[in-house]
Structure 1
Amino acid sequence: MPLDLELQDVHVLITGASGGIGLETAKLFLKQGAKVTAHYNSNSTTLRSLESQFPSTQLFSVQAELTSESSIESIFASARAYFGLEVQILVVNHGIWPSQDKMIWEMELEQWNRTIDVNLTASFLISKHFLRSLAKDEVKDEVKMNANIVFVGSTAGRFGEKGHSDYAASKSALMYGLVLTLKNEIVKIASQGRVNCVAPGWVRTPLAEEALRDPDVVYRALATTPLKKVATTYDTAMQIVLLSSTKVSGHVSGQIVNVAGGMEGRLLNKPEDI
């Protein structure tokens, strides 16, 4: 029998739920009996597999552009109307990673602004409206008992990532500035509210598969990783679900859980560079 994390009928909103980590996270929450609002930006095709496995009373899919504050407001309004319950757990999983390597002196301001807007500003907006929805007078204390946010960061936010300063900066801001501040603010609304972060390294998602076909990419990714393997989406998603559970993580807040096989840093130089 699977471990009961006491998430039955708890309302969870997952941003970027149609991607690899988001989809796996949604599936694990649904298996725990949670009510899941699954956000997607443009393509909901992958969510159909969940719709065929779980009843409509458990799963609600919603499209939104998360850099738009009015779109975010509509997510919470429609999710509340669908389930008749405020969102209690927020998983901030969405994000973009521009694939072309660009040193900072080569990077256009347009790329920098877009990455910061999607990865950081949109995370601020969704967190703001999540907490605002819980702060309403009519929200009962028992609804707030499970209140928490789990952000999805990255090893890029811890170690940096050459050629991707925009992405690394956005993830650092989430992992350190936002998490460590919001853990102190959420308790003003929900006395037992928590905020944490999961920080994966390389993960075998559909978007990463092409890069991981290159042996040099795999070597450089694993050169400082004791476990010598690339994570699965399950590895990351399970940590998200465990952190969100008040039953098993009720006294854990302000933490960054690195899901990266023990990675110690980046391999910066090839032999010919030395």
Structure 2
Amino acid sequence: MGLDLELQDIHVLVTGASGGIGLETVKLFLEQGAKVTAHYNSNSTSLHSLGSQFSSKQLFAAQSELTSVSSVESVFASAQAHFGLPVQILVVNHGIWPPQDTPIWEMELEQWKRTIDVNLTASFLVTKHFLRCLTKADVKDEDKAKANIVYVGSTAGRFGEKGHSDYAASKSALMYGLTLTLKNEIVKIAPQGRVNCVAPGWVRTPLAEDALRDPDVVYRALATTPLKKIATTYDTAMQVVLLSSTKVSGHVTGQIVNVAGGMEGRLLNKPDDI
């Protein structure tokens, strides 16, 4: 990335950093000279390649179960201890998407609770602790001015997703309830603090590859998308990094940036359904 986004030595925490979008986001931040705490839940294998390119002075991999209060507190404490400064930018990227298509009248309460716990409650806990740490942060005003949060939502949170009401509801809550509320709260702690959200549609990640081998899935994903392409992880990660930069997005807050090729909605019916 040739553009200097003035992120050098800024401490960034990226949740869900071992997945496709998270890994690309971490890489872009590192290339900008940021100090990155890369959170993972159970598998850090994908982070190893970055570890061979960037030193521990720039990259710190931290395991945490984000639905646990004590585990969230621990990851922030270890991140601050490692780099010697508090987290200044939080990217909330983790999440699960149960693959089975289940209408809500058939959905088990256990599935609903699990999706909400991971996607929404864990995001609440991470956000809460980030802002709590920010209230206690002993950093220069100009550093605190760069404090911001970027959530990774989904077009499912905007248009809904048949068979995935749990996922769609969790992403809507991030995109609208939290983003639009916290933009008004963060400024009580950091007067120039910002909160935004990036909402991708289908993204070509390792987890999506199997589904995208089905021509019908690709057709339904692109039927209302003018650009007629599946997003890359770079497409989404770049928007996350740009929004996090005070230099280029310093007067942007409370916004949802849809990275979905101009998608207008979801194709509900196949030809046989009509």
TM-score range, shorter chain: over 0.9
Partner secondary structure for residue 191 of structure 1: coil
Which digits, 9 at most, give the CA deviation of each residue in 1:72-95, with x for residues without a partner? 001110011000001000000000
SS where residue 76 of structure 1 aligns?
Answer: helix
Residue 159 and residue 78 in structure 1: after superposition, are their counterparts in 2 closer, same or farther (change >3 A)? same
In the TM superposition, 1:30-179 aligns within 5 A as 30-136=30-136, 138-179=138-179
Aligned-partner SS, 1:258: strand
Equivalent AA in structure 2 for residue 46 of structure 1? S
Q: Which moved more, 1:132-141 or 1:29-38?
A: 132-141
Counterpart for residue 203 of structure 1: 203
Aligned with 1:116: secondary structure? Answer: helix
Aligned with 2:242: secondary structure? Answer: helix
Matched AA of 2:256: I
CA–CA separation in structure 2 for the residues paired with 1:246 and 1:231: 25
**Aligned counterpart, 1:262:** 262
SS state of the match for residue 77, structure 1? helix
Q: Quick one: which amino acid aligns to residue 87 of structure 1?
A: V
Deviates more, 1:142-151 or 1:3-12: 142-151
The residue type paired with residue 38 of structure 1 is: A
Query: 3-state SS of the aligned residue for 2:136?
Result: coil
Alpha-carbon offset, residue 140 of structure 1: 3.3
- How far residue 248 of structure 1 moved from its aligned partner, in angstroms, is 0.1
Residue aligning to 1:238:
238
- Asked whether the 8 Å contact 2:180–2:254 carries over to 1, the reply is yes
Q: Which region of structure 1 is more displaced relative to structure 2, 180-189 or 134-143?
A: 134-143
CA deviation after TM superposition for structure 1 residue 272, in Å: 1.3
In 2, distance between residues paired with 1:125 and 1:270?
40
State the Cα deviation string for residues 118-162 of structure 1 (Å, max 9, x = none): 000000000000000010163432331110000000000000000
Question: What is the CA–CA distance in structure 1 between the aligned matches of 2:107 and 2:55, rounded to whole Å?
Answer: 46
List per-residue Cα deviations over 1:153-174 (Å, max 9, x = no partner). 0000000000000000000000
Aligned counterparts of 1:24 and 1:137: Cα–Cα separation in 2: 28
- Work out the CA distance in 1 between the residues paired with 2:55 and 2:226: 41
Tell me which moved more, 136-145 or 222-231.
136-145
- Trace 1:218-237 onto structure 2 (pairs within 5 A): 218-237=218-237
Q: CA RMSD in A?
A: 0.8
Gaps of 5+ in 2: none
Taking a change above 3 Å as real, the CA distance of residues 43 and 137 of structure 1, as seen in their structure-2 partners, is closer
| Partner SS, residue 179 of structure 1 | helix
Contact 2:194 2:254 in 1 (8 A): yes
CA contact 2:86–2:137 (8 Å) conserved in 1? no
Kept after mapping to 1: 8 A contact 2:225/2:260: yes
- Give, in whole Å, the separation in 1 of the partners of 2:55 and 2:203: 29
**Distance in 1 between residues matched to 2:181 and 2:31, nearest whole Å:** 31
Report the AA paired with residue 191 of structure 1.
P
CA distance in 1, matches of 2:87, 2:48: 22
Please state how far the C-alpha of 1:56 moved relative to its aligned partner.
1.2
**Whole-Å Cα distance in 1 between the matches of residues 4 and 137 of structure 2?**
31
> Could you tell me how far apart the structure 2 residues matched to 1:231 and 1:131 are?
31
TM-superposed deviation, 1:96: 0.2
Q: Alpha carbons of 1:255 and 1:264: their partners in 2 closer, same or farther (altered >3 Å)?
A: same
Structure 1, unpaired ranges of 5+: none
Amino acid at match of 1:199: A
Tell me the secondary structure at the aligned position of residue 149 of structure 2.
strand
Q: Which residue of 2 aligns with 1:216?
A: 216
In structure 1, the residue matched to 2:9 is 9
SS of 1:61 mapped into structure 2: strand
2-side partners of 1:192 and 1:5: how far apart? 17
